[in-house]
Chains A and B, each alone.
Chain A
Amino acid sequence: MLSPAPVQPELKRALPLLAPALATACLMLACLTWLAPDVATAWEWRRSMLPDGQWWRLWSCHLVHFSIHHALTDGAVLLLAGALSERLIGIRALALRLALAAPLISAGLLIAAPDMQVYRGASGLDTMLFVTAGIALWRENRSPKIVLLALAALVLKCVAEARGWSAGVGGLPGGVSLAWQAHALGALCGALPAWPRARAARPAGVKQP
Chain B
Amino acid sequence: MTGVGATVMHKVIVIGLDGLEPKIVEAMLKAGELPNLARLRAQGGYCRIQTTYPAQTPVAWSTFATGVNPGGHGIFDFLSRDPQRYLPLLSLSRYEQKNAFVPPKVVNQRRGTPIWELLTQAGLPSTVLRCPCTYPPEQLQGRMLAGVGVPDLRGGLGTSTFYTSAQGVKAENSEKVLPVEIRAGGAITTQLLGPRQPKGGDFTVELCLQLDLPGQRLLLRADGRPEPLEIKVGQWSDWLKVKFKVGLFQTVKGMVRFYLHRLAPTFEFYASPVNFDPAAPLFPISQPPEYAAEIEARLGSFYTQGMAEDHDGLINGRFDESAYLAQCQLVLQERARLMAYELDRFSQGLFFCLFDTPDRLQHMFWRFGEPDHPANGKGAPPELRATIGEHYRRLDGIVGQALSYADDRTLVIVLSDHGMNSFQRGLNLNTWLYDHGFLALKNGARPGEADNDDFFRHVDWDRTRAYALGLGGLYLNLCSREANGIVPPDEAGAVKANLVKGLTGLRDPQRGQVAVTSVLSREQLYTGPYLGEAPDLLVNFSPGYRVSWGTPLGGVPAGLFEDNVKKWGGDHVIDPALVPGVLFMNCPFKAAGASLPDMAPTILAALGVPPGPAMEGEDLRL
Chains A and B are bound partners: no
Interface residues of A (CB under 8 A from B): none
